[in-house]
Amino acid sequence: MATYFHILCTLSLTLLSLTPLSSSSNTIKLSLSPFFTNQPSSSSSASQPLLQALKFAASASLSRAHHLKNRKSSEYVTTPVFAKSYGGYSVDLSFGTPPQTFPFVLDTGSSLVWFPCSSRYLCSNCNFPNIDPSNIHTFIPKNSSTARFVGCTNPKCDWIFGSDPQSRCPGCQPGSPNCALNCPAYIIQYGLGSTAGLLLLDNLDFPGKIVTDFLVGCSILSVRQPSGIAGFGRGKESLPSQMNLKRFSYCLVSHRFDDAPVKSDLILHIGSSGGSKTAGVSYTPFRANPAAANNSAFGEYYYVTLRKILVGGKRVKAPYALLEPGLDGNGGTIVDSGSTFTFMEKPVFEVVAKEFEKQMKNFTRAKDVEDQSGLSPCFDFKGSKTVPLPELTFQFKGGAKMTLPVADYFSLVGRADVACLTIVTDGGSAGPARAGGPSIILGNYQQQNYYVEYDLENQRFGFRPQNCQKSV
């Protein structure tokens, strides 16, 4: 860790003052695409790479869940992210004057926005397919006339390090507005790695809209993190908070395990919609975690109330205590675009999996595929002309029902006649058990081909089925 701070403290950047610009646009539309490596589609000749990819996604989803479930308040910002070479969704954002454009992983489970920064950026363990860790595209602060470091007593430094400047600025006189010290270096821990850097203020540049004085992380050292993160959580430093968005929405194209040229839209709504509802959208209210005041991570997440889980129309008996966050903050359901597969605490997962097994008792379990993929249960359909897969439905507070298409919760794995449930839990081959935190994390795999809306103005989460694919 000393190496982190040595690099951070010795890096010298030439930064100048900010020049404000403005725009009256009330809606911003961005292209959104899957963040995948060049993985082949499912076929007999390509089964092994696909199995490895699925096992990585299962393991990464569990690592992500462990981090989201066990985040603690501290003097450091903590952003939960798994490796972006597989399973995430990216959006291009432009920073600086003139603008420098980069892909960012869309992450509703964290808040800080950060990018690989400076010509000295180092990325350890970043040898992913299609990525050369020695040639990662980075933001160069000296090439932006509007970039500047965040001062130690700047109120935006409080967003990351708390509201006591004296604890982080020991060389500054109390109440001094002209302290020359920078805001301390941040270190972000997440499921499969970490990143470290310094905070900058610069322009966030959209077509027809420029956001001045945007707080962004300039990361110069990362582990398993070759690309930036766009934090869309509920913290003050998140993109929606800094832009004062009234709502944002996206529609995620299907996971294809390849680099297919498809995209969809991320839409940022600046103007108020009042109480109006989007056509065809079912809504459920966001809920507050009662322990958010004691653990800031719980305040960043988008909690919703999951009332029922139905398999083939039959309600499973999930423990009620896990469906609602308790006074200690543990339990409940969050929505997370940064997780690939949905996570369920073991007592919830077991009743769901057992009901699938019960309703599919005429098919044998593909244990070998379960061991290879990290997914379970898997069913062998060899010789069957029809496969009656039970419906999976999530019913939320207010009556909103999400009845998932089969492709959102079963995946053909290894062979065309084996399908696995794409929901993960602790204690399997993908990773050890961790207690606490959210009991259910609704991942992006289960959000495929849904229009998903985060209505911040009216504090509600909305969704409707929709074909998201667009040709590039």
Residue range 171-217, pLDDT digits in tens: 787 666 668 889 999 998 877 778 999 999 999 998 888 999 999 99
Catalytic residue chosen out of the listed positions 205, 336, 408, 426: 336
300 and 433 in one domain?
A: yes
Residue 173 covered by a domain = no
pLDDT for 469 equals 74
Residues 441-466: tens digit of each pLDDT: 999 999 999 999 999 999 999 999 99
384 and 290 in one domain?
A: yes
pLDDT for 83 equals 25
pLDDT for 470 equals 60
DSSP letter, residue 312: T
Catalytic residue chosen out of the listed positions 107, 202, 205, 426: 107
pLDDT for 173 equals 74
286 and 150 in one domain?
A: no
pLDDT for 316 equals 97
Mean of the per-residue pLDDT values of the chain: 83
Residues 304-339: tens digit of each pLDDT: 999 999 999 999 999 999 999 999 999 999 999 988
**Is the predicted pLDDT of residue 99 greater than 50, yes or no?**
yes
Q: Give the C-alpha separation, 142 to 227, whole Å.
A: 20
- Which two three-digit tokens encode residue 28? 């911003």
pLDDT for 26 equals 82
357, containing H or E segment? helix 346-359
Catalytic site includes residue 107? yes
347: cis peptide before it, omega within 30°? no
pLDDT for 158 equals 92
**Is the predicted pLDDT of residue 13 greater than 50, yes or no?**
no
CATH number of residue 218's parent domain: 2.40.70.10
Q: What is the mean pLDDT of residues 374-396?
A: 91
Confidence of residue 413 (pLDDT cuts 50, 70, 90): confident
Residues 16-46: tens digit of each pLDDT: 232 333 334 588 888 877 764 444 444 444 5
336 and 238 in one domain?
A: no
**Is the predicted pLDDT of residue 6 greater than 50, yes or no?**
no
Residues 254-307: tens digit of each pLDDT: 876 455 556 788 899 998 888 899 999 999 999 999 999 888 889 999 999 999
Beta-bridge partner residues of 266: 30, 250
Question: Which of 235, 245, 297 shows the shortest CA–CA distance to 270?
Answer: 245
pLDDT for 175 equals 67
First to last CA, the chain: 42
pLDDT for 23 equals 38
Question: Which of 373, 395, 394, 369 shows the shortest CA–CA distance to 382?
Answer: 369
Contact 194, 201 (CB under 8 A): no
Question: Which of 391, 425, 376 shows the shortest CA–CA distance to 309?
Answer: 391
The residues, any chain, with a CB within 8 Å of residue 410's CB and separated by 6 or more, are 389, 419, 420, 421, 422
Residue 62 covered by a domain = no
242 and 220 in one domain?
A: yes
Contact 379, 393 (CB under 8 A): no
pLDDT for 241 equals 97
Last residue of a domain, which of 210, 235, 267? 267
**Is the predicted pLDDT of residue 430 greater than 50, yes or no?**
no
Strand (E) positions, 288-331? 302-304, 306-311, 314-315
Q: Give the C-alpha separation, 178 to 180, whole Å.
A: 6
Selected residue with higher pLDDT from 144 and 60: 144
Residues 215-232: tens digit of each pLDDT: 999 999 999 887 899 999
Residue 335 covered by a domain = yes
The residues, any chain, with a CB within 8 Å of residue 32's CB and separated by 6 or more, are 89, 90, 91, 106, 250, 251, 252, 253, 263, 264, 265, 266
313 and 217 in one domain?
A: no
Q: What percent of the chain has pLDDT over 90?
A: 54
Confidence of residue 384 (pLDDT cuts 50, 70, 90): confident
Contact 410, 421 (CB under 8 A): yes
Residue 37 covered by a domain = no
Question: Which of 308, 344, 259 shows the shortest CA–CA distance to 41?
Answer: 259
* φ/ψ of residue 143, rounded to 5: -85, 0
Residue 231 covered by a domain = yes
Q: Give the C-alpha separation, 59 to 65, whole Å.
A: 10
Selected residue with higher pLDDT from 109 and 472: 109
Task: Name the domain count of the chain.
Answer: 2
215 and 125 in one domain?
A: yes
**Is the predicted pLDDT of residue 10 greater than 70, yes or no?**
no
Question: Which of 448, 449, 394, 400 shows the shortest CA–CA distance to 282?
Answer: 400
pLDDT for 116 equals 95
293 and 196 in one domain?
A: no
Residue 290, domain extent: 280-469
CA distances from 333 to 51, 132, 293, 397 (A): 28, 37, 18, 12
344 and 216 in one domain?
A: no
pLDDT for 12 equals 33
Cα 199 off chain centre by: 21
Question: Which of 323, 324, 429, 417 shows the shortest CA–CA distance to 372?
Answer: 429
Q: Give the C-alpha separation, 406 to 415, whole Å.
A: 17
284 and 263 in one domain?
A: no
Residue 12 covered by a domain = no
pLDDT for 313 equals 96
CB atoms near residue 172 (< 10 Å): 18
Residues in the chain: 472
Residue 343 covered by a domain = yes
Counting DSSP H helices and E strands in the chain, the numbers are 9, 29
pLDDT for 346 equals 96
Q: Give the C-alpha separation, 448 to 15, whole Å.
A: 41
Last residue of a domain, which of 208, 234, 267? 267
- Which two three-digit tokens encode residue 415? 């062979």
Q: What is the mean pLDDT of residues 69-92?
A: 50
239 and 352 in one domain?
A: no
Last residue of a domain, which of 200, 233, 267? 267
383 and 259 in one domain?
A: no
3-state secondary structure of 410: strand
Residue 20 covered by a domain = no
Confidence of residue 49 (pLDDT cuts 50, 70, 90): low
Question: Which of 455, 462, 375, 371 shows the shortest CA–CA distance to 410?
Answer: 375
**Is the predicted pLDDT of residue 353 greater than 50, yes or no?**
yes
Catalytic site includes residue 336? yes
Q: What type of residue is 121?
A: Y
CB atoms near residue 326 (< 10 Å): 13
